[in-house]
């Protein structure tokens, strides 16, 4: 049996990853989650759930995983200015504990970096507490690999959407938020200027990439993102509701480079289109 630990296993990406991994009878899958944005509604069959913080991983995890998918970190850009203490606790304290655990037990770590560090020709890495913490964490993972010989691979997600998105509150993801406003016949709120480009990537494509990198990847640079870029305004117009602009927010990058070549060498390709997803969802919503 392959013992696999997914930190953040009750979140959007983590729960879908756990679900896919658990379908393989050769995998023994565990989740470690503090349920900050994850929810027990996302629990899936065949997974052992452990509640707690990644900074306490040594006390909470009493077995030796073969691989750790480290997804359990704070992951919002604009909100991170108000949550800077949480960013430090979850991202900075968490990563050092996880890396020391990996070093001690000689596991492989697949780290979920953030594509924000590629934003605006590299300026995005320092544009918010969240972006800085994730960018500096990737450097720490690489250094641990060099210093202590740990096995690692670093991935970068691009604007994940799909099953189990957060629909409400300040941590809601954009597509889910637009869906809720569409159902309520409300205006869609778009942060100015609206021309900021995003590479919306379906969670199933993210999971396929993560598993491939876990099995075959080594080192840095495994981007998992759809090459098709759309502005936030274009996405809002696909829903066909009235648009209300809201003031620009700190840390809101305008562009991001998609770096998927290393992942594609492993055999990965994005298979889902955000345009098809929105159109199919709208058709079902209008009928139902």
Q: In this structure, are strands 219-224 and 151-157 parallel, antiparallel, or unpaired?
A: parallel
Main-chain dihedrals φ then ψ at residue 248, nearest 5 degrees = -60, 145
**114: enclosing H helix or E strand:** strand 108-114
- Which pLDDT tens digit goes with each residue over 36-52? 999 999 999 999 999 99
Provide the token pair at 51.
């509640």
Q: Which domain holds residue 205?
A: 2-161+200-225+256-271
Percent of the chain at pLDDT exceeding 70? 100
CA 191 – CA 177 distance, rounded (Å): 13
Beta-bridged to residue 124, according to DSSP, are none
| pLDDT of residue 252 exceeding 90 | no
- Which pLDDT tens digit goes with each residue over 196-233? 999 999 999 999 999 999 999 999 999 999 999 999 99
Does 216 reside within a domain? yes
- Which pLDDT tens digit goes with each residue over 159-190? 999 999 999 899 999 999 999 999 999 999 99
- The radius of gyration computed from the CA coordinates of the chain, to the nearest angstrom, equals 18
pLDDT (0 to 100) of residue 247 = 93
pLDDT (0 to 100) of residue 256 = 74
Contact 159, 200 (CB under 8 A): yes
Contact 152, 108 (CB under 8 A): yes
Does 170 reside within a domain? no
**Residue with tokens 């998927």, as numbered in its chain:** 260
Does 127 reside within a domain? yes
Concatenate the DSSP letters of all residues of 167-200 into one string.
Answer: -SSTT--HHHHHHHHHHTTPPEEEETTS--EE--
| pLDDT of residue 119 exceeding 90 | no
**213: enclosing H helix or E strand:** helix 203-216
Does 23 reside within a domain? yes
pLDDT (0 to 100) of residue 205 = 98
Does 153 reside within a domain? yes
pLDDT (0 to 100) of residue 35 = 98
Does 115 reside within a domain? yes
The total domain count for the chain is 1
pLDDT (0 to 100) of residue 13 = 98
Contact 114, 156 (CB under 8 A): yes
CATH number where 18 lies:
3.40.50.720
Does 235 reside within a domain? no
* Span 119-145, average pLDDT: 93
Contact 12, 203 (CB under 8 A): yes
| pLDDT of residue 253 exceeding 80 | no
* Span 238-254, average pLDDT: 90
Confidence of residue 257 (pLDDT cuts 50, 70, 90): confident
Calculate the average pLDDT of the chain: 96
Does 211 reside within a domain? yes
pLDDT (0 to 100) of residue 124 = 86
| pLDDT of residue 251 exceeding 90 | no
pLDDT (0 to 100) of residue 255 = 81
């Amino acid at each position: 049996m392959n013992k696999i630990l997914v930190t953040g296993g009750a979140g959007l990406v983590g729960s879908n990853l756990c679900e896919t991994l658990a379908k393989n009878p050769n995998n023994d899958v565990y989740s470690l989650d503090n349920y900050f944005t994850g929810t027990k509604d996302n629990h899936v069959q065949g997974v052992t759930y452990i509640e707690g913080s990644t900074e306490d991983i040594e006390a909470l995890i009493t077995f030796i995983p073969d691989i750790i998918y480290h997804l359990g970190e704070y992951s919002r850009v604009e909100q991170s200015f108000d949550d800077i203490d949480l960013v430090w606790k979850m991202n900075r304290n968490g990563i050092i504990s996880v890396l020391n655990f990996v070093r001690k037990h000689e596991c492989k770590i697949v780290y979920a970096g953030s594509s924000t560090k590629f934003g605006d020709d590299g300026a995005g890495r320092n544009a918010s507490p969240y972006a800085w913490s994730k960018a500096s964490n990737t450097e720490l993972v690489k250094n641990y690999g060099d210093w202590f010989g740990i096995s690692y691979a670093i991935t970068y997600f691009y604007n994940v959407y799909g099953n189990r998105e957060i629909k409400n509150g300040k941590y809601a993801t954009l597509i889910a938020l637009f869906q809720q406003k569409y159902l309520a016949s409300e205006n869609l709120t778009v942060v100015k200027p609206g021309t900021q480009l995003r590479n919306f990537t379906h969670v199933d494509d993210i999971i396929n990439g993560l598993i491939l990198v876990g099995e075959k990847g080594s080192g840095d640079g495994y981007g998992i993102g759809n090459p098709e870029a759309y502005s936030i305004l274009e996405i809002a117009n696909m829903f066909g509701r009235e648009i209300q602009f809201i003031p620009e927010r700190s840390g809101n990058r305008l562009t991001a480079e998609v770096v998927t070549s290393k992942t594609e060498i492993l055999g990965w390709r994005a298979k889902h289109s955000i345009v098809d997803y929105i159109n199919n969802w709208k058709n079902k919503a209008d009928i139902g």
